[in-house]
Amino acid sequence: MSDFFQNGIITTLHNLSTRSQEALEGELAVFAEECPMTLVLPCLYSELAQPALAKIVQELSGVEYLKHIVIGLDRATEDEYKHALEYFSVLPQPHTVIWNDGPRMTSLQTRLNELGLAPTSLGKGCNVWYCFGFVQSLGDVQAVALHDCDISTYDRSMLARLFYPVANPQFNYQFCKGFYARVAEGKMNGRVSRLLVSPLIRSMKRVFGAHPFLDYLDSFRYPLAGEFSMHIDVLRDLRIPADWGLEIGVLTEVYRNHSTNRVCQVEVADNYDHKHQELSLEDSNKGLSRMSVDITKSLFRILATLGFVFEQGTVRSTKASYLRIALDLMESYHDDARMNGLHFDRDSEERAVELFAANVLKAGKAYLDSGDETPYIHSWNRVTSVYPEVFADFQRLVSEDEAQFAQTKSYVLAIDNQRT
């Protein structure tokens, strides 16, 4: 029996397997006439060598309703940027590759830094922030979706399901989060979401009491999913973290700016897998260990903005409560895995819980010791208020990169729209 249950305080749109991909894409092609759609792909150059991205590009080549694709390229040399332009040239849609490490983008970052507006650290959050700025510079965009470039089980129906809730004019959603079951190779994945985020949110409810924001976060089936879509209005005033707190940070900003009845989550895939990171038991600056610290610290910061008071005692209580809830949830996951014939490594799961518990304390200490930290990158609304010509400069710099390094490339500028 298909799952159609609604729980929590946001709408859940399920995949009841009653509509074809062609039917969804047919409707989206009609919606696109009034609601131009742009896809954002934050990408490391190293991902161009992986089969996952090759499959994503192949699938996207058949998507006819997209107005534009924006690829944010990180950690690339000049020759690697040239290769990326060639690699993505097979896409039939208008597309842009932003060379974040190139001299022209570096000059833009320097200008923003002089104004006190540049991201203070590099990473996925910084890449996404620049991509979102470029999307706004295009002018003719109404809906934006983002997904990662390491999805090994990708097919274009994922994108159709992700766009549909915000593109359908009869729906009222401003933001849509993707979710899916993290099962692959005969075992459960998604350890950070299963063993850290869900029990941590519930432990915070226990320590601090019920709060609508915690209910909101707990309503998402996979809060760390890297796939989401939104109306362009959501994008303009979005402040996002530069670290691994990106996904939680975006959900927080949506909660701050929009009613929960305009937020939904959609089941985008029955089967999902991507590149896995190591737990990194020995080094908290790597892998899932670093991710857990960043996410937990982000949650502490967010709750503080809502009036929660943190001190050493509450951090310790949160850690103790988290550990108990996580271990109880682990038993539930064990039973679920056993009944479905999945492998469940109890020792590995408990080691992860113990690491995350230690990192709750580490994140709490880091938060308490960093009172003057500015955790969010400035919104593009603030940037344009200080630097009105930023979008025109952004378009010019990116087009100059492509004109210099691409052999053939069609490129549409929207500078005049931004100057008028």
Question: How distant, in Å, are the alpha carbons of 137, 179, 217, 224, 256 from that of 221?
Answer: 33, 6, 9, 9, 20
Q: Is 69 in contact with 60 (CB distance < 8 Å)?
A: yes
pLDDT tens per residue, range 288-344: 898 899 899 989 988 998 899 889 999 999 999 999 999 999 999 999 999 999 999
Indicate the SS3 state at residue 13: strand
SS3 187: strand
Sorted by where each begins, the domain ranges of the chain are: 11-419
Residue type, 411: Y
Region 84-91 average pLDDT: 97
* 177 closest CA partner among 23, 12, 36, 7: 12
Give yes or no for residue 412 having a pLDDT over 80.
Answer: no
413 pLDDT higher than 50: no
Structure tokens at 250: 């975006």
- The arithmetic mean of pLDDT across residues 10-15, rounded, is 95
Confidence at 240, pLDDT banded by 50, 70, 90: confident
Single-letter residue type at 234: V
Separation of alpha carbons 199 and 77, rounded Å? 42
What share of the chain has pLDDT > 70, as a percent? 93
pLDDT digits (tens, 9 = 90+) for 31-48: 999 999 999 999 999 999
Q: Does the structure show a pLDDT above 60 at 2?
A: no
> In the predicted model, is pLDDT for residue 407 greater than 70?
no
C-alpha of 337 from chain center = 27
What confidence category does residue 1 fall into, taking pLDDT thresholds of 50, 70 and 90? very low
The average confidence (pLDDT) of the chain is 91
Distance, in Å, from the CA atom of 109 to the CA atom of 172, rounded to the nearest integer, reads: 36
CA Rg, the chain, in Å? 21
User: What are 88-103's pLDDT values in tens digits?
Assistant: 999 999 999 999 999 9
DSSP strand pairing (175-180 vs 183-184): unpaired
The CATH code of domain 11-419 reads 3.90.550.10
Please give, one letter per residue, the 3-state secondary structure of 48-88: HHCHHHHHHHHHHCCCCCEEEEEEEEECCCHHHHHHHHHHH
Better-scored residue on pLDDT, 221 or 7? 221
Residue found by looking up tokens 């409560």 in the block: 321
Q: What's the rounded mean pLDDT across residues 391-396?
A: 97
Judge contact between 92 and 410, C-beta under 8 A.
Answer: no
Q: Distances in Å between the alpha carbon of 219 and those of 10, 64, 145, 259, 377?
A: 7, 33, 21, 14, 26
